Amino acid sequence: MVKEKRNIVTPGETIVSGNEFLPGDGAYRDGEDIVAGQYGIAIVAEKHVRVVPVSGAYYPKRGNSIIGTIVDITFNGWLIDFGGAQNAFLPVSEVPMYVNKNEMREFLDFGESVIVKVWDVKSRGVDLSMKMRGFGKIEGGMIISVGPNKVPRIIGKEGSMVKLIKGATGCDVTVGQNGKVWISGKDANMEVATKKIVEFIADNAVTMGLTGMVEKFIKDMGLKVAATEAKE
Amino acid sequence: MAKNIYTKRDDGRKMTEVRPMTAKVGIVPSADGSASFETGKTKAIAVVRGPRTLHPQHMQNAKTGILRVNYGMMPFSVEDRIRPGPNRRSEEISKVTEWALNSVVDLTGFPNTVVDVFIQIPQADAGTRVAGINAAAMALAHAGLPMKQMVSAIGVGKIDQTLVVDLDKFEDSEFHDGEGSTDIPIVLTSRTKEIALLQLDGKISVDEFKEVIEMGKVACDDILKVQMEALKNGGKDE
Amino acid sequence: MEGKMSKFIMPNLQKEAIENLLNKEGKRLDGRNADEYRELFVEDGISKNSASAIRVRFGKTEVLAGVHLALATPYPDSPDQGTFMTSAEMHPMASQQFDIGRPGINAIELARVIDRGIRESGFIDMKKLCIKEGEKVYQVFVDIVAINDDGNLLDVAGLAAIIALGKARMPIYNEKEDKIDGYSETERIPLEKDVLSYSMTLHKVGDKIVADVSKEEEEISKFRLTIAMGDNAGKPRITAMQKGKAGTINTEDMETILKLAESKWTEMFPKVKEHVFG
């Protein structure tokens, strides 16, 4: 069993001491000490120490699924805003069908939204792909921004939180690792209810016992919690 | 040598005592990081936006992101209204603040981008640049940026012949008797205890100056505790 | 500063979601009704160094506003009256859309609308701010600084300006040295309480007229109309208006707007008065 110890650390703070520990993301070694190199939750898993941010902007990583919007179209692809430092580029060769370069707007037009995969992160920008299953244009529903650091709590363990919400409101909740959440259902009022639940989770993301709180929040809204059990 | 006349502080504090401090993070929801820091009646807020692509392009650096600090006092922060917008004083403070913060922030992971730090002073009672730096360090941490350590800032001063920390407005600008007032803003890194900012205007002996640094270290330890406490509480409220 | 303004990116589906919910249900994405305001929060005592300084929030939209009085020479055409100036800073701290440097057109318009509203209504009793006719008067500054923009800065800033004036203390004039020695603890600046007016900005979003817009609603609205109303024997009376954005107002919209403005004014004005003079 992996033993986890969670606590919020600040830059320069010693997390653990001992040569047996190894610094991971957000941590560094200073003599015997493993020190926080950023603000966040320190996670000591066995001998591996890392710091997971709890706030701040989104930094794209290879393999992330993100939700974005078309802001420009070039001769060979689409520029996509995902709320990060740079724009991202989706080349015409990385969409799942052949698109004629004269008909790019028919495939993806200005202001349309997509769920895409981060293919590569370079100093000049981010390259995207839409070729795999589960990626593509998204239509209907609404997008809300909760910030990248709340994403794990909104998804829940093995998607349990998303299932809990779907059970209560009937809406699909698709979470981009860039902190944008696409909510889509048949009933607009239920979409609004879903938005409230997602925002509640984001507001209480560092709280222990979140599932119980969310279930209560759903019941207080007059909705039913389906029998599926959510895990934290 | 004349007798030292400043043997008691105007507000009754001990010579090494920092005014009551409060600090908070997450005060501006639309920002990537934000914090407030108050000491006595001096209030500072700091907001971080970025990293974001830097325009115009010729200012970009392909090796690293750039830290850009903008310090300003709100028009109503002092008795004589300050016109909004930059002036020589605010530009200089912005620059020395930028150097101090740059010593601990690592933006090499974000080439061609800029991280903006906005510091604003709603109410001033001396020590606004150091309060601003204390808030800015918290806001940068709150923005989740890579930082090897924190910085904490304090004004140490010599009032006539007495060394004090955290000067208020009377000590900083209204006391002119005896040897007058010398103000020494100091910024120290939290882990290595190195000096990240130092300014001095006035008259002071080398031995006294050494003591000033020691007093600054003690005060910065107190300030760091307040900064850390606020960060550790951050995200729980609001 | 040269600098490209970051665009506010609104996905098409989001615009449709906002408009559809308004058109079909009369509701907004945050659950509010079309005419519903966010919760108002006012905090006094932000700076003790000025005549007043306050914080005002509607939801997450926040501004600070402060009042200063300084000694000045009167204008030749009004030798027995104080003078007045409003400035507004849409500080880049408040939104990634705001730039550093000279105030943009939005900040200028905002300051001018607020300035006119206060000046034209005669809210400040300028004659009582004369120290010596033709020579010395008080100049009143209202300074507004945006802290966080989550929509409807116009109304929050306008409200902040009148509350800051309401709380502003009278300076203590030191005649011998011809300077101001701080502010009185008890005496407030002279205001014509009866002409207080309160302004509301209504936007057309989708087919509906919406009050206290969110950032997203503000972005997609077709037009906005700011209406300032004062009290005329218990009934609202229009004192100032400003239409913004390119969309045009038809007869039906205007009727809706006036009806909404009247009912909202009746609901909000007593609260506003309490904040200004309380």
Q: How many angstroms separate the Cα of C150 from the Cα of each of B28, C163, C219?
A: 10, 20, 11
Interface of B with C in 54-93 (CB under 8 A): 55-56, 70, 74-81, 84-85
Residue A203 CA to residue C219 CA, distance in Å, equals 25
B110 CA to chain A: closest CA distance, Å? 7
Chain B's closest residue to A204, CA to CA, is: B236
DSSP states along A142-199: EEEE--GGGHHHHH-GGGHHHHHHHHHH--EEEE-TTSEEEEE-S-HHHHHHHHHHHH
| Residue A44 within a domain | yes
d(CA A96, CA A88): 18
Work out the pLDDT band at B237, boundaries 50, 70, 90: very low
Q: Average pLDDT, stretch C77-92?
A: 92
Domains and CATH numbers, chain C: 39-277 (3.30.230.70)
Which residues 42-61 of chain C have a CB within 8 Å of chain B? 46-50, 52-53, 60
Domain limit, last residue, from A94, A119, A138: A138
Of the residues A138, A158, A187, which one is the last residue of a structural domain?
A138
pLDDT at B235: 53
Q: Which CATH superfamily is domain B21-233 in?
A: GHMP Kinase, N-terminal domain (3.30.230.70)
The reply to whether ipTM tops 0.90 is: yes
- Evaluate whether residue A182 is within a structural domain: yes
Task: Provide the whole-model pTM.
Answer: 0.92
Nearest to C89 by CA among C77, C79, C98, C76: C98
pLDDT digits (tens, 9 = 90+) for B116-169: 999 999 999 999 999 999 999 999 999 999 999 999 999 999 999 999 999 999
Per CB-CB distance under 8 Å, the chain C contacts of B120 are: 91, 93, 145
**In a domain? residue A70:** yes
Contact between chains at A113 and C13 (C-beta distance less than 8 A): yes
Task: Report chain B's mean pLDDT, rounded to a whole number.
Answer: 94
What pLDDT does B57 receive? Answer: 83
Give yes or no for B112 touching C (CB within 8 A): no
- Residues of B within an 8 Å Cβ radius of A: 25-26, 32-33, 50-53, 62, 104, 106, 109-113, 141-150, 189-191, 227-228, 231-232, 234-236, 238
**Largest interatomic CA distance in chain A:** 62
pLDDT reported for residue A122: 84
For residues A125 and A91, membership in a common domain is answered with yes
The Cα of A100 is separated from the nearest Cα of chain B by a number of Å equal to: 31
Cβ-nearest to B81 among C6, C70, C101: C70
Higher-pLDDT residue of A232, C154: C154
**Which tokens is B201 given?**
């205007």
Query: Where in A1-141 does DSSP place strands (E)?
Result: 4-9, 14-17, 22-23, 27-30, 33-36, 40-45, 48-52, 65-74, 77-81, 88-91, 113-122, 125-129, 136-138
Query: Given this model, what pLDDT does residue A19 score?
Result: 95
Given A138, A158, A173, which residue is the final one in a domain?
A138
Q: Do C150 and B28 touch (CB under 8 A)?
A: no
pLDDT at A2 over 50: no
The CATH number covering residue A118 comes to: 2.40.50.140
pLDDT, tens digit (0-9, with 9 covering 90-100), for C46-67:
999 999 999 999 999 999 999 9
Range from A6-10, B12-16, C186-190 carrying the lowest mean pLDDT: A6-10
Find the length of chain C.
Answer: 278
Return the SS3 of B136.
helix
Mutant choice from C13, C22, C219 vs A, greatest count of A C-beta within 10 A:
C13
pLDDT value, residue C7: 56
> What's the pLDDT band for C3 if we cut at 50, 70, 90?
very low
CATH number of the domain encompassing residue A22: 2.40.50.100
Average pLDDT of the residues in C258-265: 96
Nearest-Cα distance to chain B for A23, in Å, is: 13
Show the CA angle centred on residue A167, arms to residues A165 and A169, nearest 5°: 65
Confidence band, pLDDT 50/70/90 cuts, at residue A159: very high
The pLDDT, as a whole number, for residue B84 is 87
How far apart CA B34 and CA C147 sit, in angstroms, is 11
pLDDT at residue A4 tops 60: no
A82/A70 Cα distance (integer angstroms): 9
Question: Which residue type sits at B83?
Answer: R
Same domain, yes or no, for A115 and A170?
A: no
Widest CA span in chain B: 60
Query: Is A232 within the bounds of a domain?
Result: no
For residue A156, the domain's CATH number is 3.30.1370.10
- Whether residue A180 sits in one domain with residue A120: no
For residue C216, pLDDT over 70 is answered with yes
User: Quick one: A214 and A154 in the same domain?
Assistant: yes
Query: What distance in Å separates residue B117's CA from the closest CA in chain A?
Result: 13
> Binning pLDDT at 50, 70 and 90, where does residue B2 land?
confident
A74 residue type, one letter: T
In-domain check, residue A213: yes
Could you read off the pLDDT of C159-168 as tens digits, one per residue? 999 999 999 9
Q: What is the pLDDT of residue A6?
A: 59
Q: What is the pLDDT of residues A56-103, one digit of tens each?
A: 889 899 999 999 999 999 999 999 999 887 779 999 999 999 999 889
Name the residue among B29, B30, B78 with its Cβ closest to that of C49: B78
A175-184: pLDDT as tens digits: 999 999 999 9
Q: What domain range is A48 assigned to?
A: 4-52
Mean pLDDT of chain A: 91
Q: What per-residue confidence (pLDDT) applies to A131?
A: 93
pLDDT at A229: 53
**Rounded mean pLDDT of chain C?**
92
Any idea what DSSP says for residue B9? -
Residue of B nearest to C147 (CA): B28
Q: Which of C152, C253, C246 is nearest to C199 (CA)?
A: C152
**How confident is the model at residue A3, as a pLDDT?**
38
pLDDT at A207 over 80: no
Q: How confident is the model at residue B85 (pLDDT cuts 50, 70, 90)?
A: confident
| Closest Cβ–Cβ partner in B50, B147, B236 for A38 | B147
A30 — pLDDT class (breaks 50, 70, 90): very high
User: How far, in Å, are C44, C65, C72, C168, C189 from residue C277 at the CA level?
Assistant: 12, 16, 27, 10, 11
Number of domains in chain A: 3
- Cβ–Cβ below 8 Å for B236 and A87: no
DSSP conformation letters of chain C: ---PPPP----HHHHHHHHHHHHHHSB-TTS-BTTPPPPEEEE--S-TTSSEEEEEEETTEEEEEEEEEEEEPPPTT-TTS-EEEEEEE--TTT-TTPPSSS--HHHHHHHHHHHHHHHHHT-B-GGGGEEETTTEEEEEEEEEEEEE-SS-HHHHHHHHHHHHHHHPEEEEEETTTTEEEEEEEEEEPPB-GGG-EEEEEEEEETTEEEES--HHHHHH-S-EEEEEEEEETTEEEEEEEEEESS----HHHHHHHHHHHHHHHHHHHHHHHHHHH-
Q: Scan residues 68-127 of A and list those with Cβ closer than 8 Å to B.
A: 85-87, 123-124
**Strand, helix or coil for residue A211:** helix
Which of chain A's residues have a Cβ under 8 Å away from the Cβ of C24? 188
> What pLDDT, on the 0 to 100 scale, is given for residue C227?
94
Whether residue A168 is found in the same domain as residue A102 = no
Q: Token pair of C251, please?
A: 């007869």
- For the ranges B1-5, B177-181, C240-244, the lowest mean pLDDT is seen at B1-5
Residue B62 pLDDT: 87
H or E segment and range at residue A21: none
Contact A9, A43 (CB under 8 A): no
Q: Are residues A146 and A201 in the same domain?
A: yes
Return the higher-pLDDT residue of B210 and A134.
B210
Q: CA B140, B144, B145: angle at the middle one, nearest 5?
A: 65
Q: How many percent of chain B have pLDDT more than 70?
A: 98
Span B56-71, pLDDT tens digits = 888 889 899 999 999 9
Name the 3-class secondary structure at B150: coil
Dist CA A225 CA A214 (whole Å): 10
For residue A183, the cross-strand partners are: A142, A173
Percent of chain A with pLDDT over 90: 80
Residue A5 pLDDT exceeds 50: no
Q: Which residues, 6 or more positions from C269, have their beta carbon under 8 angstroms from its beta carbon?
A: C198, C229, C231, C236
**By CA distance, what is A184's nearest residue in C?**
C17
- Residues C217-245 have a mean pLDDT of 94
Phi, psi (degrees; rounded to nearest 5) at B78? -130, 170
Given a cut of 80, is residue A1 above it in pLDDT?
no
